[in-house]
Structure formats: structure tokens, C-alpha cells
């Protein structure tokens, strides 16, 4: 997928709000996902207890992360999995490219992987003469239309059946327009099965990596993940370093939380546990398995006790489905790999506040995301932390690009406000001035946007006169 063109969040959000079809699609899809989640988490007490378990598992894992990663590497290597470490996305892309070139590979089939989106993997491969084909149905649809994902779990959430039918008719030669989902699915299946057969490399993400056993766990519903990891002769798995858990016993509660939060299921159709390449006597599976562990700023987040909570995320996407901002504008308006509430606290840390800091202000702080997060990430608190760092002096913050919104005018205004609230005479003068200004507040010019949707402030005495006139009471 090509990198999205840069655009300010405000302009992109305005365009999205003006697209009534987009809003209808998002409303239908996110409402359905919310209802499914409620149906599977129908016991509030049990749900809260499970969320607490999930939160503690992830938090404990982060405190032991360096040791767990070393243990994971050792166990994977013992199982025959080759482990590669990448500090940056560029390095991770180069590692996968080197594996492909070592095997003379031209085509890679991909299961769903948000880390690969973070790496802009498809664009990188295209630039180097390689073909990267998405096999997740949603990803396949938007790749045909040359779009990035709009959602972490449901990449084509912004498209309805008619739009998908048109994409297939326009982008797949010999395909007639249809809205019949069975025909659309059969078309995608026919194309993808041929690519599974002819691909040189299969690529996947990793939902959980178990340090105890060196097992890579992959959660999916379509079977494409299993095809990508077993049919091609080489399997490459991509994971952020925070995906490691300590033991197999920790996987079931996290799996239950992920399924219920992401798609409203108690269990997905497929749960793959990969421990290594094909062994002697086995009839299927790849001959080689590679694991690429990506940092990309995660170790920096880990160093801060508050910011490290972002790394607890299990990529369920439920915060997006409950966010009053995301559900009205979709993921493309964020112009980032991770949209919605989780993107607001993750992207500025990955790319810097000076690059993605505007996302921090794309929140109403309603707390809906925090209330449904399966691992209890305090998203609003982290948003406020990042907003504060946006105004700090250079060198006083932790997040890269902090202080990007700091400017002399605002500093003067806030100092004036502080003095007006602490000096009685100055406070009286300010209130008197504002009362007078309120009477002559113009309905044109820079203040028109305010008065267009609000009643102009008036003197208390005049307000009383208006009220008594409305009530039919004589005012003395």
C-alpha cells in the first residue's frame, strides 16, 4: 500500500463529515460491532474481572520484557525459528527483503499484520520490484482500490456492499458488477487460492508470542492466515516486541478478551499455534520460519512508567468502535497507521508529536475508550499527558517532538489569565471589560463563528429584563 498523502486532521475530518455515505457505512458497522461485544460480554462483573486479569498479564509482561524477549529468542531458535531484531521499520523491511532475495522470491502473500502497515511494507516491496498481495478479505478489497486500512480489525469498514461490488468490477478483469456477497467471496477466493499456490513467501503478524515455549499465536477467521503460514515454502512473522507473553496459561484470557472485543466472538474460527518449520515426516508447513521483532520506539515507551501502558494494547480495535470521533469520520481522516483512540496515543510516540501531535487533540475525552478497553489502558489520561507535552519547553518532555504547540502568544495570554484570577482589582477590571465587550460583540469577522451558534453574552441586568419579559412579569 502506498503511503497516504499528508493532510491536516482538521481538513481530512471535515471532508469525512461531509461524506454522508461514509457516515452511514460507519454508523451501521460500528453499531453492529458494539452490539456483538455487548452480547458476548453480558455479565458486567465477570467482564470486569477478566479485564483486570488481562491488564495484569500485560502489565507484568512489560515489567519483565527484556528477559521475556531473550527467552522467546532462545526457545524459538531451539524450535528452528530464525529470529531477527529490527530497531526501525526500515531495518525490518530490509530484513524481509534480504530473506526474499536469498530465496529468489518475487511474490509474498500476506495475512493481516498491522506491523506491516506500520512498516509501509507493501510500498517498500513495490519499490524493490516485489509483489506483496493482501489475503485478508478486507485488506484485499482496499488494496484493489489502492487505499490504506480504515480500521485495525475491519480494514474495509468504510465500504458497503455496493461499493465493494464496483471495486471488484473495476479492478478485476472479467468480473461483472454484483452485490451478491456469495459471488464476491467466490471471486476473491478464486484469485487468492492461485496466489497461495504460486507465492514464494508467506507473511503474517503475531497476536501473542509465548516466551515459555517459543510459540507464535495467530488469531483469524478466514483461514488466509493458515494458508499464508503453511503453503509457501518460507514463512516470515512480524511482531512488535510488546506482543510477548510469559506462559501458555496467559494466552486464553487474552484470547477471550481479544475475540470478544474485536468481533463479538467467544472464539475465532482459526487459532494457529506455530512452533517451527515442517519437521521430518510432516506433510505440510513451511521449510523455513523467520520471526522479525520490531522495536520502532517501543523500548523508549517502555522506559516511562505511564507511557508504557500503551504497549498493553492487544489490537482489538474496540476503542475505535466506541469513539464518538472515529465513528463519524473513519480511519483515513487520521492519516496514520493506527487511527482512533489507540492511534492518538501510539502514533505521536512512534513518529513524534511534531508529526502526529494533532491526533492528540482529536478526542472529546468522554472516557468511552477506557471503559471498554479489554486491558484497561487509561487512554484519556495518556491523551492529557501528550497534550501537556505538546506545550512543554524543549528538553522538558519525554515524547519526541514535544513542545510543538508552544508559542509566545499563548504564553502571554495564559500569563494574563493567571494574573487576572489572582489580582482582585485586575479581575474586576477584566469582568467589567468583558461585560461591555459582550454587548458589542460583532456578528461578522473573526467572531462570527462563535456568535453564529451562540447567543451573545449580555449584562446580568439586561438578562433579567429579558427573562421577566418572557415570563410576563413587570420589572422595576
The answer to whether residue 164 sits within a structural domain is: yes
The predicted pLDDT at position 5 comes to 46
- Residue 460, pLDDT > 60, answer no
- Whether 292 and 413 map to the same domain: the answer is no
- Whether 120 and 266 map to the same domain: the answer is yes
What average pLDDT does the segment 331-357 reach?
96
pTM for the whole structure = 0.88
Q: Which of 296, 322, 352 is the last residue of a domain?
A: 296
Q: Which range, of 63-67, 138-142, 309-313, 396-400, averages the lowest pLDDT?
A: 396-400
The answer to whether residue 146 sits within a structural domain is: yes
The answer to whether residue 454 sits within a structural domain is: yes
User: Phi, psi (5° rounding) for residue 5?
Assistant: -70, 150
The predicted pLDDT at position 472 comes to 57
pLDDT digits (tens, 9 = 90+) for 60-102: 999 999 999 999 999 999 999 999 999 999 999 999 999 999 9
The answer to whether residue 142 sits within a structural domain is: yes
Only one residue has cell 531451539, namely 78
CB 288 within 8 A of CB 77: no
The Cα–Cα gap between 216 and 27 comes to 35
Average per-residue pLDDT for the chain: 92
Q: Which of 262, 296, 330 is the last residue of a domain?
A: 296
**Kind of pairing between the strands at 288-294 and 215-220:** unpaired
Strand partners, 234: 201, 288
Report the CATH number at residue 231.
3.40.50.10420
The answer to whether residue 460 sits within a structural domain is: yes
The predicted pLDDT at position 430 comes to 85
The Cα–Cα gap between 340 and 5 comes to 18
Beta strands in 303-447 (DSSP E): none
- Whether 146 and 292 map to the same domain: the answer is yes
Q: Which range, of 224-233, 382-391, 451-460, averages the lowest pLDDT?
A: 451-460
pLDDT confidence band for 476 (50 / 70 / 90) = very low
pLDDT confidence band for 1 (50 / 70 / 90) = very low
The answer to whether residue 166 sits within a structural domain is: yes
CA distances (Å), 259 to each of 110, 218, 264, 389, 447, in order?
A: 21, 12, 6, 34, 49
- Residue 32, pLDDT > 70, answer yes
Domain that holds residue 132: 41-296
- Residue 467, pLDDT > 60, answer no
Only one residue has cell 525490518, namely 92
pLDDT digits (tens, 9 = 90+) for 231-285: 999 999 999 999 999 999 999 999 999 999 999 999 999 999 999 999 998 988 9
The predicted pLDDT at position 7 comes to 59
The Cα–Cα gap between 140 and 134 comes to 5
Name the residue among 256, 213, 239 with its Cα closest to residue 68: 213
Q: Which of 296, 318, 351 is the last residue of a domain?
A: 296
The predicted pLDDT at position 447 comes to 67
The predicted pLDDT at position 466 comes to 56
Domain count across the chain: 2
Task: Please measure the distance between the N-terminal and C-terminal CA atoms of the chain and give it in whole angstroms.
Answer: 72
The answer to whether residue 402 sits within a structural domain is: no
- Whether 285 and 421 map to the same domain: the answer is no
- Residue 4, pLDDT > 50, answer no
The answer to whether residue 64 sits within a structural domain is: yes
Name the residue among 176, 192, 96 with its Cα closest to residue 138: 192
The Cα–Cα gap between 451 and 183 comes to 54
In sign, the C-alpha dihedral spanning 88, 91, 97, 100 is: negative
pLDDT digits (tens, 9 = 90+) for 156-207: 999 999 999 999 999 999 999 999 999 999 999 999 999 999 999 999 999 9
The predicted pLDDT at position 431 comes to 84
Query: What cell numbers appear for 351 in the block?
Result: 513518529
pLDDT confidence band for 52 (50 / 70 / 90) = very high
pLDDT confidence band for 439 (50 / 70 / 90) = low
Beta strands in 276-382 (DSSP E): 288-294
CB 211 within 8 A of CB 245: yes
pLDDT digits (tens, 9 = 90+) for 315-336: 999 999 999 999 999 999 999 9
Amino acid at each position: 500500500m502506498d503511503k497516504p498523502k499528508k493532510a491536516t486532521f482538521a481538513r481530512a475530518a471535515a471532508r469525512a463529515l461531509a461524506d454522508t455515505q461514509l457516515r452511514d457505512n460507519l454508523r451501521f458497522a460500528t453499531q453492529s460491532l458494539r452490539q456483538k461485544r455487548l452480547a458476548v460480554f453480558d455479565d458486567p462483573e465477570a467482564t470486569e474481572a477478566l479485564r483486570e486479569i488481562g491488564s495484569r498479564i500485560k502489565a507484568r509482561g512489560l515489567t519483565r520484557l527484556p528477559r521475556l524477549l531473550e527467552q522467546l529468542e532462545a526457545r524459538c531458535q531451539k524450535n528452528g525459528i530464525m529470529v531477527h531484531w529490527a530497531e526501525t521499520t526500515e531495518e525490518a523491511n530490509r530484513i524481509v527483503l534480504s530473506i526474499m532475495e536469498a530465496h529468489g522470491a518475487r511474490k509474498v502473500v500476506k495475512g493481516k499484520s498491522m506491523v506491516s502497515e506500520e512498516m509501509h511494507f507493501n510500498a517498500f516491496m513495490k519499490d524493490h520490484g516485489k509483489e506483496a498481495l493482501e489475503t485478508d478479505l478486507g485488506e484485499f478489497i482496499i488494496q484493489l482500490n489502492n487505499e490504506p486500512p480504515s480500521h485495525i480489525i475491519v480494514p474495509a469498514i468504510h465500504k458497503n456492499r455496493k461499493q465493494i461490488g464496483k471495486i471488484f468490477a473495476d479492478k478485476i478483469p472479467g468480473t461483472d458488477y454484483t452485490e451478491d456477497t456469495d459471488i464476491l467471496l467466490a471471486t476473491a477466493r478464486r484469485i487468492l487460492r492461485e496466489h497461495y499456490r504460486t507465492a514464494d513467501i508467506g507473511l503474517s503478524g503475531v497476536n501473542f508470542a509465548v516466551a515459555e515455549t517459543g510459540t507464535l499465536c495467530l488469531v483469524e477467521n478466514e483461514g488466509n492466515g493458515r494458508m499464508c503460514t503453511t503453503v509457501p515454502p518460507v514463512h516470515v512473522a512480524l511482531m512488535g516486541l510488546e506482543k510477548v507473553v510469559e506462559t501458555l496459561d496467559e494466552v486464553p484470557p487474552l484470547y477471550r478478551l481479544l475475540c470478544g472485543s474485536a468481533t463479538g466472538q467467544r472464539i475465532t474460527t482459526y487459532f494457529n499455534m506455530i512452533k517451527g518449520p515442517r519437521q521430518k515426516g510432516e506433510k505440510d508447513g513451511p521449510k523455513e520460519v523467520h520471526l522479525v521483532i520490531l522495536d520502532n520506539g517501543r523500548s523508549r515507551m517502555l522506559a516511562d512508567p505511564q507511557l508504557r501502558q500503551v504497549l498493553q494494547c492487544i489490537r482489538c480495535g474496540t476503542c475505535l468502535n466506541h469513539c464518538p470521533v472515529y465513528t463519524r469520520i473513519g480511519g483515513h481522516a487520521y492519516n496514520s497507521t493506527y487511527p482512533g483512540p489507540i492511534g492518538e496515543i501510539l502514533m505521536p510516540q512512534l513518529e513524534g508529536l511534531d508529526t502526529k501531535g494533532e491526533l492528540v487533540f482529536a478526542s472529546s475525552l468522554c472516557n468511552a475508550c477506557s471503559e471498554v478497553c479489554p486491558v484497561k489502558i487509561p487512554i484519556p489520561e495518556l491523551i492529557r499527558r501528550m497534550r501537556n507535552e505538546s506545550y512543554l519547553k524543549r528538553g522538558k518532555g519525554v515524547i519526541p517532538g514535544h513542545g510543538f504547540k508552544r508559542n509566545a502568544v499563548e504564553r502571554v495570554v495564559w500569563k494574563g489569565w493567571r494574573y487576572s484570577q489572582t489580582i482582585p482589582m485586575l479581575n474586576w477590571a477584566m469582568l467589567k471589560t468583558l461585560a461591555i465587550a459582550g454587548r458589542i460583540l460583532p456578528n461578522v469577522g473573526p467572531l462570527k463563528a462563535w456568535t453564529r451558534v451562540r447567543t451573545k453574552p449580555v449584562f446580568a441586568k439586561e438578562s433579567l429584563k429579558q427573562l421577566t419579559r418572557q415570563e410576563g412579569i413587570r420589572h422595576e
